[in-house]
Chain A
């Protein structure tokens, strides 16, 4: 049961990154591709009805982590204190920008929120990428199962790392470039005309940038966290997951060149899912890896709640989750097709 919940949490976070990831991506690219107010409204209308539902995946994944692995939730959230509060502030700005931009018809009001939305989207993409980098690299857990990392120390991945070091900066940049690519694919799928043309060419550029960043990250990982390879070495079949991720990226780049918007978006989604699944396979059973003493690492076994909670939770979760998927698919279906500026 501990393993089942690990799969569920990983999957929910991965789905979150795919869904809210395209919101971040649209946020990062739209000021550069949408030139007129009408185009900007169209770009925002493409995510307007769905971003809030996408964000719920994060909140729910965090709550599931809380109930299944309270010890890891407590350690992780207090240990990354400053980064998480920063995430909260950025999420507040992002949400406000999307909700409030349309309320006042004044050019300065709109410019201000555009800037806030782009900055918040970019920073969130970087911070989430850096967070993943921190999980891979590990944290200095103490004997009570807690740690605290400052925002940065000496930018090295040594025993006393900061949230930002050279490796997590790299994962942050990788995340930002991948999500910009992914978001541009989404926006291309949702738009027409000049806006579509500019978005598609931005997507191609970001596709190659993210391929480059991904390559650097994949090269760097074994130096930073050699143990990630152990799981794969033990189960060579698991190599299929990262390989299919790489294959999805290649396909997505190819489809991008062929202007197949929907297919490019679906394959970039698959790429993100597969890369995160690879990290999940590599990390298991660890939730938080200790940089000081491997015995202090928090795993799905020593951080979990008891078996009644995990099993009873599974029953309601199955029902609730099926319902939630149904609404989400229904809403995405309702808003399927090209976005229009007047839809809001």
Chain B
């Protein structure tokens, strides 16, 4: 059964990572689209209307892929993680059902209105954009409430049969863990959407096509991106790291690569964790910085991995360490690029600074990698627990689903998602190549 556990984990990790490429864009883009639609409504300008419609097509494409890849996640709780579902369904079933009832109906109903737009006035379209924004952020909230409970279980009671039950819905929805997790995830989603919008704008400007749109996309993307990437790091990223050190100190020690408990602990920027010697090889470090970041005090004591028994360590330590460092490193790079672009925009030189436009264009994949790495940090760091402190991952699988079945479906998902990825890239390429329709009645979605 050990190998079934591996396949179950790989299948969930693979399908969840692939899924999250889509909602991170749609959640962020919902906010930017609401801005563009508001401008279109307020000014009555056809330019903003066409800009909104172009991004609505991209939104819809991502939303469609997000829906079809999202359903397998909910189902897998039951199919591959039956003992976990039985154990925790009384709690997390609540938030997942809320997501369906409050968010999915809202999103799916109003996306239809935006796509089949010709029948509707701009006022109706603006309302639909607002509903999509509300729906996608609510959806994010409920999913994160579910994950926050797995990271930091609150508001539950253990029943006679060992299963857990929710004892306060308000407690579940106001899990203290959720505040930083939600704000961090959502600002990161806005960073993704802003980077993509700025990258598309740069591409058009550099290739001399759709120039008025390119400038709108760049302005919107750079301003939103600079604000969001700053907020993503401080206070939300910082707040998240602090709550990890408060509630899951072994996870914090593991992703920072802190093997030994220290006063004035260093922050490792680069280096390779060596499990033989329990040190970081080739370190580039800032002495004392970790103590300051976590406890505001140069000589504060930070617990290292040696303070915890080995069986409580996250089981894939190097991967966790790298995931965290990739996330933090790319987050810093994104803030620098966006900050630089904002400064050039403010000075009125961005549209002529080709090197910076190239940089913005090539930065588009970074937020995707950073958010995936961020989720790997959160989830690998939660190991060996499925529900932190309550249920171990190895005890959450389906008892009768054997490794042969699990591997069969894992291979199937990999094949299917490869096809999905190719289709998505092809279609998004076509949409961007086509660009916003100049002023004609037909748009990219016209066929």
Contacts and interface: CB of A to CB of B under 8 A. Distances in A.
B109 interface: yes
A56 B400 contact: no
Interface size class of A (residues with CB under 8 A): 35 or more
Interface stretch (A82-90, A126-134, A182-190): A82-90
B427 A89 contact: no
Nearest to B57: A103
Given A88-B75, A102-B445, A312-B166, A67 B97 contact: yes
A161 to B, nearest CB: 15
Contacts of A88: 71-72, 75
B86 A70 contact: yes
Interface stretch (B76-84, B301-309, B372-380): B76-84
A321 B69 CA distance: 24
A258 to B, nearest CB: 31
A60 B108 CA distance: 13
Tell me the dominant secondary structure on chain A's binding face: helix
B108 A52 contact: yes
Contact of B167 (A53, A81, A308): A308
Contact of B93 (A68, A78, A89): A68
B211 interface: no
B245 interface: no
A73 interface: yes
Contact of A81 (B85, B109, B398, B430): B398
A324 B98 CA distance: 11
A77 B88 CA distance: 15
A48 interface: yes
Interface size class of B (residues with CB under 8 A): 35 or more
B105 A63 contact: no
Given A67-B89, A99-B64, A102-B447, A146 B82 contact: yes
Interface string B102-129: 1011101111110110111000000000
B113 A334 contact: yes
Nearest to B88: A70
Contacts of B336: none
Contacts of B69: 92
Contacts of A95: 64, 67-68
Contacts of A82: 405, 408-409
Nearest to A103: B427
Nearest to A325: B105
A74 B104 contact: no
A97 B107 CA distance: 20
B110 A64 contact: no
Given A64-B100, A81-B398, A105 B71 contact: no
Contacts of B408: 82
Contacts of A75: 82, 86
Contact of A52 (B92, B112, B119, B401): B112
B163 A53 contact: no
B235 interface: no
A87 B74 CA distance: 13
Contact of A91 (B68, B78, B110, B112): B68
Contact of B109 (A89, A145, A312, A331): A331
A317 B101 contact: yes
B319 interface: no
A92 B416 contact: yes
Contacts of A146: 82, 398-400
A148 interface: yes
A290 B79 CA distance: 19
Nearest to B166: A309
Interface in B215-269: none
A162 to B, nearest CB: 14
Contacts of A145: 86
A323 B71 CA distance: 22
A319 to B, nearest CB: 9
A60 B97 contact: yes
Given A66-B85, A313-B94, A331 B112 contact: yes
Contacts of B405: 81-82
Interface string A29-64: 000000000000000000011101101100110111
Contacts of A53: 105, 108-109, 112
B400 A323 contact: no
Contacts of A327: 105-106, 109-110
Contacts of B115: 49, 344
A328 B79 contact: no
Interface string A324-344: 100110110011000000011
Interface string B283-298: 0000000000000000
A324 B101 contact: yes
The 4 nearest A-B residue pairs measured at CB: A70-B89, A77-B78, A67-B93, A60-B100
Given A67-B90, A88-B75, A91-B71, 9 more contacts: A56-B100, A63-B93, A64-B93, A67-B92, A67-B94, A73-B86, A95-B67, A316-B169, A320-B101
16 contacts: A53-B112, A62-B75, A66-B93, A67-B93, A67-B97, A75-B86, A78-B398, A81-B401, A82-B405, A88-B71, A100-B64, A104-B430, A146-B400, A305-B89, A312-B94, A324-B105
